[in-house]
Amino acid sequence: MAVATHTRLPSGQSPRLLASRLYNPGKMNGEFRTLLLLALVFAGTQADECSLTPVIHILSYPGCNSKPIPSFACQGRCTSYVQVSGSKIWQTERSCMCCQESGEREASVTLNCPKARPGEPRMRKILTRAPIDCMCRPCTDVEEGTVLAQEIANFIEDSPMENVPFLKK
């Protein structure tokens, strides 16, 4: 049974540098191939940057004057990847992380409604929510079968992997 191995990089060492040190043109063993794959995956990876960002929301309701209110939103990027499983090479492991709220607060805002229809209130309370803090959290899972074969074919044609023999049409 073939097993892919995953090696933790020494602190401060670049994946590209580690892969180039292990490369032996005469012998391309499984460990090197795995490290090369990891180097390609992590070469452009940056640290998670997910933070609470101040924004202005414009609250509106038909017949009411719009009102800008200070609020917050989550903004940033989080590490995600797909890789061959370390124990079952015929399977893939996915980690999809998204910058999302971790807790929220509610606020009630009153809008003045001078153009309200007869019988409707001239003041309207609107409930709004804002994140308290932000963090990288798991994204929604991709359901089995939602990736179309055509999408995969287009990805392969547009990627550097189009030259891999077993992926050719």
Q: Are residues 10 and 66 in the same domain?
A: no
Q: Tell me, what's the pLDDT at 3?
A: 27
Q: Tell me, what's the pLDDT at 7?
A: 35
Q: Are residues 93 and 133 in the same domain?
A: yes
Does some domain include residue 34? yes
One DSSP character per residue, 42-73 reads HTT----EEEEEEEEEEE--TTS--EEEEEEE
pLDDT in tens, 28-67: 455 544 444 444 445 455 678 999 999 999 999 999 999 9
pTM of the predicted model as reported, rounded to 2 decimal places: 0.51
Does some domain include residue 158? no
Does some domain include residue 74? yes
Tell me which residues of the chain have a pLDDT lower than 50: 1-28, 32-41, 43, 142, 146-169
Domains in the chain: how many in total?
A: 2
Domain at 88, CATH number = 2.10.90.10
* Spatial contact of 93 and 41, defined as CB atoms under 8 Å apart: no
